[in-house]
Chains A and B, each alone.
Chain A
């Protein structure tokens, strides 16, 4: 089982997901968040929290598969994000562009 953050998080970074993570497995850079697969327990709590549906659990769709390696590679090298932060500037606009009201 794997749970991953994908491209919809880029330029949004709403960080609602981190508030319900029971094990603090989210890490972040300036662009987006990533899940450390070694720490994540696949509980799915974060998935409905994302306003742009950026988080996927298995079965992960074909076009999102590449994010498995990206999350695993980047998360351990970045700081843990366990508190809600301000979204990136323009996040609300991007959310609309992505088709979420």
Chain B
């Protein structure tokens, strides 16, 4: 039998998920000295994960990593199998039968909830639903957002929260020539929202947004950022945090906030209020969301470990729509150990573990490995680390030849799964770009799986 990792017996690797962490894992595998064949599984017909459906439509530059992923996908040793859901169309056991190694790169597909009364009222949403909706993600295509009330509330102060605020505060003209979903632009163009509140439980020295994103809130055509100088007062511990050189990125955000307080009185149609030290404790409303109850907080604890404690003061804010943006969580896949507390696949250096024991051949990278932290590039380093673990383990894995996807095609056909190849995706991609041309957009996404399959000549059933 030929050694594993040679041309007659290549390493067969499956990657589950086609976002940044999946593509950087593919890149690292294809760059190794071993002969590796990579098959990438994706539940949608379209690849690129959150670069396609998470990055805001008005941030086209941040979508440019797609060019890198396109180059990776053109490798003759890479195969894309879109429209295949692992755990539903294929079991993890079936995958293991056809591959030496399986790398899970399936991200964090759901969000953390506030856990407060009224959270399920109509008008209360996950920010991720809104983001998926305006980005044309099929899971969120048919959601309805009521933007008829003048006040919207965003809970959380990370960059997703900033994205949501900015999309709500921009004029239709500022979004018209982006790749925002056409149906979302129509709704946003009729929005009656005047005031958007971005609310954080801790203070300006703890907020997670980064300064370039924050700065944009001060550069909108018809919206003023609102905060008062006293909102930026810091306790001693927070002053120490800001003075710490390791937090220099945060001090830049603080400077942006200071500049916002020094702006002339607001004159624009919309206002984006940035508020600190408040936590929602209840959402109120008869049939739908009408008010959010906010508890005022103070910070307690040592620098860099301060926690928000309620002061006992509460206030109510009338609003028609609320988006929570307080973190993401991974979703379990049958057949893979899951850490329900952290919402990740438990692992040691990317090797999936069940209790203390490594599960041979199963690996994990990206948000489903480390939790929802970091930006696109963070996943490159993370995937290289996982692939280094994988390559180090190869001599100890069963070395018999594996079939890769060739052994799965008949099975998928028997289950009536229409596998979307990379060449298929390129047709869908070209059709989206053509659709966008008339409207002066880089593309008009297909937001329904059936529409994407129709491009490939698959009729609706």
Question: Does B377 contact A45, Cβ atoms closer than 8 Å?
Answer: yes
The interface residues of chain B lying within 8 Å CB-to-CB of A41 are 61-62, 64-65
Give the distance to chain B from A83, nearest Cβ to Cβ, in Å. 8
Which residue of the partner chain B has the closest CB to A24? B68
Question: Does B377 contact A20, Cβ atoms closer than 8 Å?
Answer: yes
User: What is the bound-complex CA distance between A44 and B215, given in angstroms?
Assistant: 14
The interface residues of chain A lying within 8 Å CB-to-CB of B374 are 45
Q: Please, what's the 1-or-0 string for A23-45, where 1 marks a CB less than 8 Å from any CB in chain B?
A: 11000000000000000011111
Which residue of the partner chain B has the closest CB to A99? B245
Question: Does B212 contact A44, Cβ atoms closer than 8 Å?
Answer: yes
User: What is the bound-complex CA distance between A22 and B65, given in angstroms?
Assistant: 6
Main SS of chain A's interface residues? Answer: loop
Q: Please, what's the 1-or-0 string for B47-86, where 1 marks a CB less than 8 Å from any CB in chain A?
A: 0000000000000011011011000000000000000000
The interface residues of chain B lying within 8 Å CB-to-CB of A57 are 212
Is the CB of A47 closer than 8 A to any CB of chain B? yes
Question: Does A20 contact B380, Cβ atoms closer than 8 Å?
Answer: yes
User: What is the bound-complex CA distance between A100 and B210, given in angstroms?
Assistant: 24
Question: Does A22 contact B249, Cβ atoms closer than 8 Å?
Answer: no
Supposing A44-B210, A47-B249, A48-B249 touch, asked if A20 and B64 sit within 8 A by C-beta, the answer is: no
Is the CB of B375 closer than 8 A to any CB of chain A? yes
Question: Does A19 contact B380, Cβ atoms closer than 8 Å?
Answer: yes
User: What is the bound-complex CA distance between A43 and B249, given in angstroms?
Assistant: 13
Which residue of the partner chain A has the closest CB to B71? A24
Sort chain B's interface into a size bin.
10 to 19
Which residue of the partner chain B has the closest CB to A20? B377
Question: Does A42 contact B212, Cβ atoms closer than 8 Å?
Answer: yes
User: What is the bound-complex CA distance between A46 and B378, given in angstroms?
Assistant: 9
Number of A-B contacts (CB under 8 A): 46
Question: Does A22 contact B61, Cβ atoms closer than 8 Å?
Answer: no
User: What is the bound-complex CA distance between A88 and B374, given in angstroms?
Assistant: 28
The interface residues of chain B lying within 8 Å CB-to-CB of A1 are 61, 212
User: What is the bound-complex CA distance between A57 and B210, given in angstroms?
Assistant: 13
Per the 8 Å Cβ criterion, residues 358-385 of B in contact with A are 374-381, 384
Is the CB of B20 closer than 8 A to any CB of chain A? yes
Which residue of the partner chain A has the closest CB to B384? A19
Contact of A46 among B62, B67, B377, B379 (CB under 8 A): B377
The interface residues of chain B lying within 8 Å CB-to-CB of A20 are 377-378, 380-381
Give the distance to chain B from A37, nearest Cβ to Cβ, in Å. 12
Supposing A43-B376, A44-B212, A45-B375 touch, asked if A23 and B381 sit within 8 A by C-beta, the answer is: no
Supposing A42-B212, A43-B375, A45-B375 touch, asked if A21 and B62 sit within 8 A by C-beta, the answer is: no
Question: Does B67 contact A23, Cβ atoms closer than 8 Å?
Answer: yes
Contact of A45 among B68, B376, B384 (CB under 8 A): B376
User: What is the bound-complex CA distance between A42 and B211, given in angstroms?
Assistant: 12
The interface residues of chain B lying within 8 Å CB-to-CB of A42 are 61, 212
Per the 8 Å Cβ criterion, residues 375-418 of B in contact with A are 375-381, 384
Q: Please, what's the 1-or-0 string for B154-194, where 1 marks a CB less than 8 Å from any CB in chain A?
A: 00000000000000000000000000000000000000000
Question: Does A21 contact B380, Cβ atoms closer than 8 Å?
Answer: yes
Question: Does B212 contact A23, Cβ atoms closer than 8 Å?
Answer: no
Supposing A43-B62, A43-B376, A47-B249 touch, asked if A23 and B68 sit within 8 A by C-beta, the answer is: yes
Q: Please, what's the 1-or-0 string for A42-74, where 1 marks a CB less than 8 Å from any CB in chain B?
A: 111111100000000100000000000000000
The interface residues of chain B lying within 8 Å CB-to-CB of A24 are 68
Per the 8 Å Cβ criterion, residues 298-334 of B in contact with A are none
User: What is the bound-complex CA distance between A51 and B384, given in angstroms?
Assistant: 20
User: What is the bound-complex CA distance between A43 and B64, given in angstroms?
Assistant: 11
User: What is the bound-complex CA distance between A43 and B377, given in angstroms?
Assistant: 8
The interface residues of chain A lying within 8 Å CB-to-CB of B61 are 1, 41-42
User: What is the bound-complex CA distance between A70 and B20, given in angstroms?
Assistant: 30
Question: Does B377 contact A22, Cβ atoms closer than 8 Å?
Answer: yes
The interface residues of chain A lying within 8 Å CB-to-CB of B20 are 22
Which residue of the partner chain A has the closest CB to B31? A83
Which residue of the partner chain A has the closest CB to B385? A19
Question: Does B210 contact A22, Cβ atoms closer than 8 Å?
Answer: no
Question: Does A22 contact B212, Cβ atoms closer than 8 Å?
Answer: no
User: What is the bound-complex CA distance between A19 and B378, given in angstroms?
Assistant: 8
Q: Please, what's the 1-or-0 string for B185-215, where 1 marks a CB less than 8 Å from any CB in chain A?
A: 0000000000000000000000000101000
Interface centre among A19, A20, A21, A48 (most CB of B within 10 A): A20
User: What is the bound-complex CA distance between A38 and B35, given in angstroms?
Assistant: 33
Known: A20-B378, A23-B67. 12 other contacts (CB 8 A): A19-B380, A19-B384, A20-B377, A20-B380, A22-B65, A22-B377, A24-B68, A41-B61, A41-B64, A42-B61, A43-B375, A43-B377
Q: Which 5 A-B pairs have the closest CB atoms?
A: A45-B377, A20-B377, A22-B377, A22-B65, A19-B381
Taking Cβ atoms with an 8 Å cutoff, the residues of A that contact B are 1, 19-24, 41-48, 57
Can you report 11 A-B residue pairs in the complex whose CB atoms are below 8 A from each other?
A21-B377, A21-B380, A23-B65, A24-B68, A41-B61, A41-B65, A42-B61, A43-B62, A43-B375, A45-B376, A57-B212
Taking Cβ atoms with an 8 Å cutoff, the residues of B that contact A are 20, 61-62, 64-65, 67-68, 210, 212, 249, 374-381, 384
